[in-house]
Structure 1
Amino acid sequence: MTKIFILTTRGLESISAAEIAELDGVTVTETSYRRIAAECSGSLAPLLGLRTVDDIYLDLAHWEGVFHTRDMLAQFNAWSDRLDVQQAAINCRQVRPIPLKPIFSVSVSFIGKRNYTADEVKNSVSDSITFTHGWTYTADDREANLNIRVFVEHEEAYVGVRLGSHAQHERLYKMVERPGALKPTVAAAMLRLVDVQAGQRLLDPCCGSGTILIEAALMGASIQGGDNDPEAIKATRVNMKDAGVQGEIEQWDARVLPLRDGSNKRIVTNLPWGRQTFVNEELGSFYMQVCGEMERIVAAEGRIAILTSTPDLLHFNYLQLIQSLEISLFGQNPTISVYGATR
């Protein structure tokens, strides 16, 4: 039985836990702030297919008594002497090649104030592993064969080794970024919230660089989307090509969509919001018109998921709010709102 912990976006913990629990041989044992603990009795490879999580780590240790004082730096070093990083490397070799003497990096994150820095903790941990195992440390995660993560939560710390070669939220198809581009894991979570199925038609009327569309296509959906910005259309097409997916992409005004009434069962979109982007008009008027178009073209049994930091601007005549979920993104706290038809 291999113990793992998985990091996700704040607010998406329950969605990620549900996705993890669907894997054969994987049991979720705990769900907390941004972190999900689980046990895997079979192959680790299917874990790398998770779409809603930020990162996956093999569980190395759980340290208690992590205080804010500087003498903790010596304690971090002593605790690290006992980390079984050799077994973690063996487990990682199930899914990717790892040298016998790997290059490693260390990542550290805190909840709560400390009298020491993340870099000082990195040095304490890396010095121990370098001395004990003869591995080579690098400060650049991109150069490392293995990444060791120390996740400090108040007076506890969870330590793990990243299973994959890169963070799970990093998608290789994201070749072209645009202002306001959506985090792929959030896009995948939004699609799960409206239960997008293979073969189902999925529309994103404000597609930006195409993240929602690509994630939906990788789930087997038939995708259609557009944007009023020609550069966004170019970015979407480049990213779709890199992802190896196809769909209908058009330049259009989301307030006047060239689509039939009731023609889409699922609509998922990241509307312009907050500091991430802007529209050249009053936001309330834009939202009202776009909501009117989405309401017109959604099927009677359809679902709509919208991400915005101003959910109070969303207005529909007959669609009802089914679910509302606040998350952390871009240093802000936007909301995913799910609407459904009642007619």
Structure 2
Amino acid sequence: MPHYFVTVLPGLEEILADEMRVKISGVCIRDKARGKVYFDSDLPVEHFLALRTADNLYRFIHRFPVGPHKLHLHDIEKEISRLDLSMILPASSGTGMLSFKVNASRSGNHTYSRFEAAEAAEWGIMRRNRHFRQDHSGGHQLEFRLDLVQEEAVFAVRMTDAAFRYRGKTREFTPAALRPTVAHALVWVARPEIDDIFVDPCCGSGTVLSERCAYPHALIHGGDLSAEAVAAARANVGHISSVHVKPWDAQRLPLDSGYAGKVVTNLPFGKQISSIACLPALYEGVLSEMKRVLKPGGRMVCLTDAEAPLQAAAEKAHLRLTNVADLRLKGLHPSIYLLEKD
């Protein structure tokens, strides 16, 4: 049975593992490490492309010990030169030359750089496989990954292309736009259901709305104070009759009380806020309005790094607050929170 791993934004490993268990029948999750979920499956690769929290999919090739000094670069080259890579060759490769590159990461007290480790791996590949040639121009056919963590190396080949985590779409972006994988994690924590009436009160360029559109729903509403953001969200979501995007104030939503079952949003935080002093009042107003719009038993999921203002606003609104995951995102450390209405 082939071994794989998927990469994910650090902090989202358990959310991705849960998505895998639900979506892929018979998958065997072997391990979770920072930014990775390892699993076994004999299903075709196409089944794994449904994982919307994942950044990329890799086929695991080899794990081996590594030394910390430059003289050990030769050992990396030698170890990789022993590998039979025929199992991962594209069906269309024939007997012609295959272009490739190796990306490497390094964590530990090594005296060599990740670039030197990648080069050693590349020489190892070419020693064993004469029809492989290095290509760093961006037009390579295969991309290998070498991760060095202290005294251990993991070698793998990427199965997804560069557009995978961005859904292969040309998107309109506004400042502080979420990565689709993070937006999906928020949607997944809310537990999408076929009869959902779903609201994103601070929708920005509509990434959360786009991710919710990937699942059956009843109605989806989104809005933002910024006319530029609303225009971008409409362009990104497209023409779907069940999705409504309009300009509005998240503290005064044009929606009936008890209307929505799910509210999911990326709350303003970090560089989106000109002064930290306004956050408590903003969060208090937004959470109060979200509680009004939510049905009894409804769920709200949000992303922010402003824990104290959020906690104070949740207490005032009488919403149960749970920290679901702590992330590292663009130099910030936001968390995903679940808030529930009795």
**TM-score strictly above 0.5:** yes
Q: Which runs of 4+ in 1 moved over 6 A?
A: none
Q: Which moved more, 1:34-43 or 1:101-110?
A: 101-110
Q: State the Cα deviation string for residues 84-143 of structure 1 (Å, max 9, x = none).
A: 3321124xx5xxx66753322221112234321121112111222234322232224x42
Q: Distance in 1 between matches of 2:132 and 2:211?
A: 37
Let me know the Cα RMSD of the aligned residues: 2.1
Per the alignment, residue 32 of structure 1 pairs with 33
Q: 1:217 aligns with which of 206, 213, 218?
A: 213
Determine which of 260, 273, 279 is the counterpart of 1:278. Answer: 273
SS in 2 for 1:203: strand
> Map of 1:1-343 to 2, 5 A cutoff?
1-22=1-22, 23-64=24-65, 66-90=66-90, 93=91, 101-133=97-129, 134-140=131-137, 142-166=138-162, 168-221=164-217, 222-241=219-238, 247-275=243-271, 277-278=272-273, 282-314=278-310, 315-316=313-314, 317-342=317-342
Question: In 1, Cα distance between the equivalents of 2:186 and 2:93?
Answer: 34
Which TM-score applies when normalising by structure 1?
0.90
Larger deviation, residues 2-11 vs 279-288: 279-288
Alpha-carbon deviations, 1:55-109, whole Å to 9, x = none?
Answer: 1101111112x2331122212211221233321124xx5xxx6675332222111
Shift in alpha-carbon separation, 1:323–1:49, aligned structure 2, 3 A: same
Q: Partner amino acid for 1:86?
A: S
Query: Residues of 1 paired with 2:93 and 2:164: CA distance?
Result: 18
Higher mean alpha-carbon deviation, 110-119 vs 150-159, is at 110-119
Q: Quote the Cα distance in structure 1 between the aligned partners of 2:175 and 2:111.
A: 36
Cα distance, 1:169 vs. partner? 2.1
Distance of 2:149 and 2:19 partners within structure 1: 24
8 Å CA contact 1:80, 1:128 repeated in 2: yes
Contact 1:4 1:59 in 2 (8 A): yes
Q: Secondary structure, in 3 states, of the residue corresponding to 1:260?
A: coil
> What per-residue deviation string (whole Å, max 9, x for no partner) do you get for residues 209-260 of structure 1?
1111100011223321011111111211222239x89610001111211111
The answer to whether the Cα contact below 8 Å between 1:13 and 1:33 also exists between their aligned partners in 2 is yes
- For residues 242 and 67 of structure 2, the distance between their equivalents in structure 1, rounded to whole angstroms, comes to 52
Paired residues in the alignment total 333
2:4 maps to a residue whose letter is I
- Deviation sequence 1:25-58 (CA, Å, 0-9, x none): 3211112222211111222210111111121101
Q: CA deviation at 1:157?
A: 1.5
Letter in 2 for 1:63: F
